[in-house]
Chain A
Amino acid sequence: DTAVSQTPKYLVTQMGNDKSIKCEQNLGHDTMYWYKQDSKKFLKIMFSYNNKELIINETVPNRFSPKSPDKAHLNLHINSLELGDSAVYFCASSQDFRQGAQPQHFGDGTRLSIL
């Protein structure tokens, strides 16, 4: 009965490859997020979707493309992976923040390592 689940947990791949990370939440939340946590543990938002609509798009390379088929799923596709993409990627969800700031619930993270 995991609340926010993302797969895979570990992803080791070579530079130049394309990979996807999947995320699903069963909390009934309207809003989902992708974060990147670098080697210094700094957690930074990348994207946010509210009811399948993109609402936050930080300054990330366009090699990163999020997709939300429905409000319970938010996937992240990364093209032409680079060494600097090595990080932990966290998916999160929350109630609709248009009602006010909401606590976000995080998945366990995907540890991406680029060789």
Chain B
Amino acid sequence: GQNIDQPTEMTATEGAIVQINCTYQTSGFNGLFWYQQHAGEAPTFLSYNVLDGLEEKGRFSSFLSRSKGYSYLLLKELQMKDSASYLCAVPDRGSTLGRLYFGRGTQLTVWP
């Protein structure tokens, strides 16, 4: 299996910037996903990184360092609606590439 670690909770204020970290240990690396899950709703896909570096998508950016087994999700200009759980996930390898191993999620609370 894979070992994925992310903080349990984070808080921030509206308009601020927050960085959610994720570290992983895998037996083979096939990229890293970030998902957002609002309370009582489905997880929704945010980003996928397979190469080192930062990928920006509007207010959200995701960074990957394969050598360090590390990723982060950067949220800028925080809004109340960004309060949610953010899940880091890595796929398995080979014929079971579809198996996603999820971290336990980081619950982000954005205060006014």
* Contact code string B86-111 (vs A, CB < 8 Å = 1, else 0): 01000100011111101011000000
The size of the chain A interface, using a CB distance under 8 A, is: 28
- Decide: A108 and B98 in contact? CB cutoff 8 A: no
* Contact code string A55-71 (vs B, CB < 8 Å = 1, else 0): 11010000000000000
Min distance, Cβ B32 to any Cβ of chain A, angstroms:
9
The size of the chain B interface, using a CB distance under 8 A, is: 23
Q: Which residues of the partner chain B approach A100 to less than 8 Å between Cβ atoms?
A: 30, 97
Give chain A interface residues in 79-115, CB to chain B under 8 Å. Answer: 90, 94, 97-98, 100-109
- Decide: B45 and A105 in contact? CB cutoff 8 A: yes
Min distance, Cβ A37 to any Cβ of chain B, angstroms:
9
- Contact flag A101-B30 (CB < 8 Å), given A48-B99, A56-B99: yes
Interface, chain B (partner A; CB < 8 A): 30-31, 33, 37, 41-45, 48, 50, 85, 87, 91, 95-100, 102, 104-105
